[in-house]
Amino acid sequence: MPYRLLRFGLSRKHPEARMFTHHDSMRTSYDVVIIGAGGHGLAAAYYLARDHGIRNVAVLEKGYLGGGNTGRNTTIIRSNYLTSEGVKFYDESLRLWQDLAVDFDLNLFYSKRGHYTLAHTDSAMRTMRWRAEVNKHYGVRSEAVDAAFVKQGIPTIDMSCGGHAPILGALFHEPGAIARHDAVAWGYGRGADRRGVEIHQQTEVTGIRVQGGRVVGVDTSRGSIATPKVLCAVAGFTPRILDMVDLHTPIYVHPLQAMVSEPVKPWLDPIIVSGSLHVYVSQTARGELVMGASLDPYELHSTRPTLDFVEGLTSHMLDMFPFLSEVKVNRQWAGLADMTPDFAPIMGVTPVEGFFLDAGWGTWGFKATPVCGKTMSHTVATGRNHPLIEGFTFKRFADYRLTGEKGAASVGH
């Protein structure tokens, strides 16, 4: 190591400011405590400080910032959902994404690619037409397209998919994009930090104190703090936090895996999803293919990936792109997906006063990071659900009013 670099490393006077302030200790009380420094928790902290002037906020993270599903996802951003609640909500998120990099003064590598959801059967084609019509009704750019259009957009694809799943057409969603997930967490984190929010990593919430039906504080691995408001944004850990306040939800947890190839020359511009083949794939700016499939088949709270997953996914990748047979898989990993029966999230106020929930984000919540921050900060600040999350309330199950989003969210993310 060159001497100057060593001296620089040991010096306390780094010219570069650190991304975040390090706090040696926590205060005894905060106006709001946010559990989970993933994209969702940090975005809520950012908008609480920026738009609502609430700055006495702590974000508590048991591991490291962005180390949960935010840092494990395949970063597909789209708004071509099926229900009116979903389309309006995700479309608002897509709008917020557009000037986020400027807001943060940080490159998010937001890259608009176009998004194909392939249809291999007549019934899939019907769903694509249905989605296209709902999307267009709300001003979202989506089209049901035929096989010739697909071939033109993705010239290298084997249209017969190995002979057993011929492509009949697709739902083409022009605004579909990918972005750099870590940068999203860092951007929101730095923005919140600069406005006075405290981020405490390596700090696990172990209990929530409730008196007379309202939140009064939280217990952590580094001591107790008083607070009247807690926002829970912990994805796959949600049921464990809900046990602390004795709330019951339909959320169940299955692992979701993904993998990435060695970098290759850029050849795949759009994002491609096939529900029948259980594949979705995009190519990053670095040339790696980022690939994922459907949920693991049973409940598990462990992030150990499996060989079954790689075998299944690579065989379906080769159905579409046989010439990739020489390309190596570099890494694979898993995250814990907090699933709901209607494939819609659970957001907003709960029966415990001062306890707010942003959960049930399963396999599809990265794209919603900005709009979740916006709507949850409003909900926490005012104590009332933001109008955009009315279809996603905690009490919709007791009311038998589900928001059926499965047709658009199951493999597509």
From the list 164-172, 176-184, 205-213, 397-405, the region that binds another protein by CB under 8 A is 397-405
Binds another protein (CB under 8 A): choice among 99, 302, 326, 328:
302
253 lies in the site for another protein, by CB under 8 A? yes
Pairing of β 177-178 and β 76-77: antiparallel
Of 228 and 404, which has the nearer Cβ to another protein?
A: 404
Give Cα separations from 109 to 98, 249, 302 (angstroms).
Answer: 11, 36, 30
Buried b (16+ CB within 10 A) or exposed e, 330-340: eebebbbbbbb
Residue 62 touching ligand FAD (CB under 6 A):
yes
By the rule CB under 8 A, 397 interacts with another protein: yes
In the bound complex, what is the minimum distance in angstroms from residue 314's beta carbon to another protein?
Answer: 16
Report how far residue 91's alpha carbon sits from residue 169's, in angstroms, rounded to the nearest whole number: 24
| 262: contact with another protein by CB under 8 A | no
- Given the complex with another protein, which of 151 and 301 has the nearer CB atom? 301
Task: Choose the one of ligand FAD, another protein, none that binds residue 1, judging by a C-beta under 5 to 8 angstroms depending on kind.
Answer: none
Asked if 350 is part of the footprint of ligand FAD (rule: CB under 6 A), the reply reads no
3-class DSSP assignment, residue 164: coil
Does residue 233 belong to the site contacting ligand FAD (CB under 6 A)?
yes
Residue span binding ligand FAD (CB under 6 A) among the ranges 30-38, 134-142, 304-312, 394-402: 30-38
Query: Under the criterion CB under 8 A, does residue 242 sit at the interface with another protein?
Result: yes
DSSP string across 18-43: PSS---SS--SB-SEEEE--SHHHHH
Residue type, 147: A
Interface with another protein in residues 309-338 (CB under 8 A): 338
Q: With CB under 8 A as the contact rule, which of the stretches 108-116, 122-130, 262-270, 300-308 interacts with another protein?
A: 300-308
Compute how many other C-beta atoms are within 10 angstroms of the C-beta atom of residue 176: 26
Three-state DSSP class for residue 156: coil
SS3 49: helix
DSSP structure class, residue 353: B
Q: Give CA–CA dist 42/186, Å, rounded.
A: 9
Q: d(Cα 22, Cα 387) in Å, to the nearest integer?
A: 36
DSSP type of residue 160: T
> Using CB under 6 A, which of 50, 190, 254, 413 touches ligand FAD?
413
- Of 240, 286, 331, 384, the one binding another protein (CB under 8 A) is 240
Question: What is the smallest separation between the CB atom of 302 and another protein, expressed in angstroms?
Answer: 6
Asked if residue 230 lies in contact with residue 380, where contact means CB atoms within 8 angstroms, the answer is: no
Cβ 157 to another protein shortest distance, Å: 29
Distance, CA of 68 to CA of 51 (rounded, Å):
26
> Judged by CB under 6 A, does residue 376 bind ligand FAD?
no
Q: How many Å apart are CA 394 and CA 299, to the nearest integer?
A: 22
Q: Helix or strand or coil: residue 383?
A: coil
- Selected range binding another protein among 39-47, 88-96, 163-171, 243-251, rule: CB under 8 A: 243-251
One of 55, 67, 226, 264 touching ligand FAD (CB under 6 A): 67
Nearer to ligand FAD, 121 or 202 (CB): 202
Which does residue 62 touch among ligand FAD, another protein, none (CB within 5 to 8 A, set by kind)?
ligand FAD
- H or E element that contains 118: strand 115-119
Q: Which position among 166, 196, 213, 341 is part of the footprint of another protein (CB under 8 A)?
A: 341
The nearest distance, CB 299 to another protein, in angstroms, is 5
39's contact among another protein, ligand FAD, none, with CB below 5 to 8 A by partner kind, is ligand FAD
Contact between 366 and ligand FAD (CB under 6 A)? yes
Interacting residues with ligand FAD between 252 and 281 (CB under 6 A): 256-258
How many other CB atoms sit within 10 Å of the CB of residue 277? 24
Among residues 231, 182, 177, the alpha carbon closest in space to that of 208 is found at 231
Does position 286 bind another protein by CB under 8 A?
no
Among 29, 224, 249, 303, binds another protein (CB under 8 A): 249
* DSSP letters spanning 190-249: HHHHHTT-EEESS--EEEEEEETTEEEEEEETTEEEE-S-EEE--GGGHHHHHHHTT---
When asked if residue 373 is in the footprint of ligand FAD (CB under 6 A), the reply is: no
d(CA 217, CA 224): 7
Contacts (CB under 6 A) with ligand FAD, residues 166-195: none
**Contact positions vs another protein (CB under 8 A):** 238-240, 242-243, 248-253, 297-302, 308, 338, 341, 397-400
